[in-house]
Homo-oligomer: A and B are copies of this chain.
């Protein structure tokens, strides 16, 4: 399950709740496209901003509309007790796996992060993806901590925040991770600009923002790389460079939310305040890039 393309849809929100119909459509679209798993309620899915009830309801809708595609949901929260509650709700909803980032307010120590994963995996009956996203958690895993956490029961995959841009360095990095991780723990790359390089370097999975809204090009990259066509994967990723540049400039959630709204998949301004949509200039940039990349259909 933790191989291939894991596609992370938005959770379209309004100030009064979740647009459940738009979310169900996003999830159904991914199942139809044939992604390998659906990563609902990831960072792209605004999990950190939603209440326990909203998260439980969203997990149920995801499972219901994913058909036979496995659903993984984000269970991160600032407090361990709340992580455990959300994990229980997610399992009741029938998810196939969970994704846990060490979300922080007070900066966390290594032992605190290990303790979090220990406490959560001890209470879990589905596999867990370790979610390393320093941009949002402000915690940086060491390789030693990856290795310690990966030995815990239920840990099935590590979602790393990128690989070196140089293909040889990326391959060395993935090989190094293989050496320190148990053989049954997969390595998945995230940070969409690193997707092709990561897969070409031997990552098992791509945890993808793009794939959650535009599964077509994300599947093309994944299938090319996984079948040994490294240059095909690279070429498609290069073609998408204007989109990666917008992700860097504005943050991927703002860009992908605007892109999904632009093509009519979600209502406008679908991020929870205080996050705001792009301004008129940003919206125009997104429209132009979508047209240039022929993603505006």
Is A184's CB within 8 Å of the partner chain B?
A: no
| A54-91 interface with B by 8 A CB criterion | 78-82
Q: Which of B78, B109, B138, B275 is close to A112, meaning CB atoms less than 8 Å apart? A: B275
B15 touches A274 (CB 8 A): no
The contact string, 1 if C-beta is below 8 Å from chain B, for chain A 100-118, is 0011011111011101100
A274 touches B105 (CB 8 A): no
The majority secondary structure among interface residues of chain A is loop
A274 touches B102 (CB 8 A): yes
Nearest-Cβ distance from residue A80 to partner chain B, whole angstroms: 4
Number of copies: 2
For A50, the chain B residues whose CB sits under 8 A away are 79
Is A247's CB within 8 Å of the partner chain B?
A: no
B276 touches A106 (CB 8 A): no
What class of interface size applies to chain A in its complex with B?
35 or more
Is A136's CB within 8 Å of the partner chain B?
A: yes
B112 touches A274 (CB 8 A): yes
Q: A15-B81, A251-B106, A253-B106 are in contact. Are A119 and B48 (CB under 8 A)?
A: no
A79 touches B115 (CB 8 A): no
Is A152's CB within 8 Å of the partner chain B?
A: no
Cα-based distance from A251 to B78 in the complex (angstroms) = 17
The contact string, 1 if C-beta is below 8 Å from chain B, for chain A 251-290, is 1010000000000000000001111100100000000000
Is A49's CB within 8 Å of the partner chain B?
A: yes
A-B residue pairs, 9 tightest by C-beta: A80-B273, A48-B105, A116-B274, A49-B79, A112-B274, A80-B274, A79-B272, A105-B136, A112-B276
Interface residues in chain A, defined as those with a beta carbon under 8 Å from any beta carbon in chain B: 15, 43, 48-51, 78-82, 102-103, 105-109, 111-113, 115-116, 119, 135-136, 138, 251, 253, 272-276, 279
8 interchain pairs, CB-CB under 8 A: A43-B105, A49-B78, A49-B79, A80-B273, A80-B274, A102-B274, A106-B251, A116-B274
